[in-house]
Structure 1
Amino acid sequence: MPTESNSWARQREWVQMDSLCDGIFDCPHSTPELTLDGPLVVRSQDIRSGVFRWHDAGRVSEETYQERIARAEPKFGDILYSREGTYFGIAAEMPRNQKVCLGQRMVLIRPNPTKINSRFLRLWLNSPILSRHIHGFRDGTVAERLNMPTIRGLPVPIFEGGEQNAIAELLGSFDDKIELNRRTNETLEAMARAIFQDWFVDFGPTRRKIEGATNPIEIMGELLVDPRHARELAEFFPANTSNSGLPDGWTEGDLGQYAVLNPESWSPREAPRAIDYIDLANTKWGTIEATTVYAWQDAPSRARRIVRAGDTIVGTVRPGNGSY
């Protein structure tokens, strides 16, 4: 059991996870060949936020799907669990009405509904206390991983059925709201990128003025969300361009004029007991989707840089991935 649980006001009975499940199934130890369409394949990066982002997941052929579900076919109520790599130890619920097979590094957990609420188990697996606990059981020098006996033996505290259901309903509703907000943010971020491209890369308002547009809404373009600000915004864009091709009066600068690199890092003497580590793969198009909690002594050396409120994180490797 996690040592942190000793401080709980109410002590619990503990059992191994496999005693609450109808099965815990490892994935085929091979990388499936992806196709343009077909059944979904879930990989560890697809559940890094604790939700299966099936809209962005890869797909495999029907033949590959049948091969990879030979041990067990994922179904609604199952839990998808990552056992290896950057995103090890993360659980997500299997979605309704989807055909999904396991990618490499994944495990399928099938809770027994008469013994445990599936959503409650998923919440427990993703809880900070268990996350810190499993870091003491990982192995592997290149890629962190959990072996199957460790996963089957993960400790689960016993709550009465009514308590389980209440916790799952309450915290699950927050998760559902977070996921809805994330999708809304993705839509808004895409709109913001399109507006930025039109206004500050293609100089659409200036170009439309040159072409004869006079109506502020027409000048600012169809991407403008709130037409009430059209007249005020249109005044910022001149009606002609300079020899450099920029709107007249505009100049180019560089990032160093407006920002500095944050050099701060923790020393062992100043370090907190635990830190939230931000991985670039979890930072997409302006949103930090998830963090990994590390005890200080277990944190990778790169995790010792301090990120302050108001800082901007920018990934310089494969910048087209939108890791900022």
Structure 2
Amino acid sequence: MEEAQIKVTDLCKNFKTYKREAGFLEMVKSFIKRDYVIKNAVKNINFEINAGERVALIGPNGAGKSSTVKMLTGILEPTSGSVRVLGSDPFKERSKVVRNYGVIFGQKHNLWWDVPAIDSYHLFKAMYDISDDDFRKRLKVVRNNLGIKDYLKTPVRKLSLGERMRCELGLIFMHNPKIVFLDEPTIGVDVVGKKKISDFLLRINKKFNTTILFTSHDMGDVDKICKRAIIINEGCVIFDGKISHLKKEYVDSKTLHLKFNKPLEQKTIFDKEIEKIGTSTYRLIFEKTESVSAFLRKVLGDESKEVIDIRIIEADLN
């Protein structure tokens, strides 16, 4: 059996925070003796990620997501526990594994600020010793799939946040990494840009079996890109499983679209409220405990109404 690409065992990260009350006297006291508070950002978490998996790391602000990603990428040293990425310790052996990474932190940038984005691409080419032929091929792929052709020759400081994020994403794939860590990569990206990003990530994952670890507060993005979710809250893993299982456990409603051969006059069907969304198309919302199939049997058995189309809308995480 192939070893997991990422293996996290009893991982903990504590931060020492300086504490001082307000006021001049407290300020003077702090020069003599400082008080500290220990914050447990990550508490004994365990998980494994295999090659080619698309995993979402989600949770509220301050849950420990970014601290976890920083330990996985070797930026932070764990307080205790262990992290193994591609068989190595990413903090102690960072130079050994870093060339197999692609990393985006939404609030940081890999692109040089005052020069065109393409200059940073050429810098990466030199840093990762990418051949001329591979560079041309990969640049064409990211340029076309992410829609960044018109942005590459523009100074990065003149790009919108969404445009910059798409250029950042293209950049980290230029050296064909085995694993990509994407921390809030869709911040500030419009709907069209988000679709380009999700389509691109799915295409790269399928073609190269690239492992994707994705953090986001946009559950729509998580739903489109990932098949597995790890939920962290207050530094602890509270869920680790398939997105489909997460939906079953936490999504409380289902949506049904019915199209009839002619508009209906009533506002309910079998005591179920309906919402008109087209000339003869109606939307119905079902709670988790309600049976859609039982309702459909009644509707299809009603000779006074001819149903010509049925759509059950898959619930998303939003």
TM over 0.5: no
Q: TM-score w.r.t. structure 1 length?
A: 0.23
Asked which structure has the greater RCO (Cα within 8 Å, sep 6+), the reply is: 2
Q: TM-score w.r.t. structure 2 length?
A: 0.23
Structure whose residues are more often strand by fraction = 2
